[in-house]
Amino acid sequence: MAHLSRVLTVLLGGVLGALGAWLLLRPPPPSFPDTPSVVQQMRDVARLETLDVALYKKVTFTPEPQATDALWKDVLNWARYAIENPHGRAIVFADARLGFDFQRFDATHLQVSGTRVYVVLPPMEVKVELRPGETEVIDSNLDSAQTAQLLEKARVAFEQEVRADARLKQRARDSAERALRSLLLTLGYREVLFVNSLPTATAG
């Protein structure tokens, strides 16, 4: 009986030793950074992920006469425009940048569930800047103010075209998602899902 007791004691000691060794050697559970730190890192990465597109187009412009309170001045204005025929044509170059407004990104756009993270991207921004040094005036008798109107109308038209271009917006989204997914996987998350709205939390 004593022999059996010693055997059981030895076996129990071995089991406990093995269990202790496993507890010591097993990998620690994943440790994720706090949410504000994740948000800031995502902002930093997203700032670098903008899609730059070079644009150019031939544009024409004919300004309308400005109305006044005096009838005869209006007549003179119309006569002057009819005689002088102000007009302008130019090839205008611009740069468009598509990216997400991560200044509006915060913890309400992020939800963590274990090793899975849900992300709602903020609204997309489109900015267009003209390259006046490359603008080529083909034919123009416009004054400086009218030329400025011509260029501003071209900039607005470029911006509207880019905003309506689903292909360009998808390219910008794909680029941002790749960069953010890479960051979050590096931080230890195993699954990154980009969604239109965060899933509703269920009571456990």
DSSP the chain: -HHHHHHHHHHHHHHHHHHHHHHHHSPPPP-PPPHHHHHHHHHHHHHH--EEEEEEEEEEE-PPPPP-S-HHHHHHHHHHHHHH---EEEEEEEEEEEEE-GGG--GGGEEEETTEEEE----EEEEEEE-GGG-EEEEE---HHHHHHHHHHHHHHHHHHHHT-HHHHHHHHHHHHHHHHHHHHHTT-SEEEE-SSPPPP---
Q: What is the pLDDT of residue 74?
A: 60
Q: Which of 146, 154, 149 is nearest to 130 (CA)?
A: 154
Asked whether the beta carbons of 159 and 96 are under 8 A apart, the reply is: yes
Asked whether the beta carbons of 171 and 99 are under 8 A apart, the reply is: no
Measured CA to CA, the distance from residue 77 to residue 64 in angstroms comes to 10
- Residue spans of the chain under pLDDT 70: 1-32, 47-48, 61-84, 201-204
> Model pTM greater than 0.85?
no
Q: What is the pLDDT of residue 170?
A: 92
Sign, Cα dihedral of 136, 142, 146, 150? negative
Measured CA to CA, the distance from residue 104 to residue 109 in angstroms comes to 9
Report CA 159 to chain centroid distance, whole Å. 16
- What tokens does 189 get? 């998350």
- What tokens does 179 get? 């960069």
- What tokens does 34 get? 């706090």
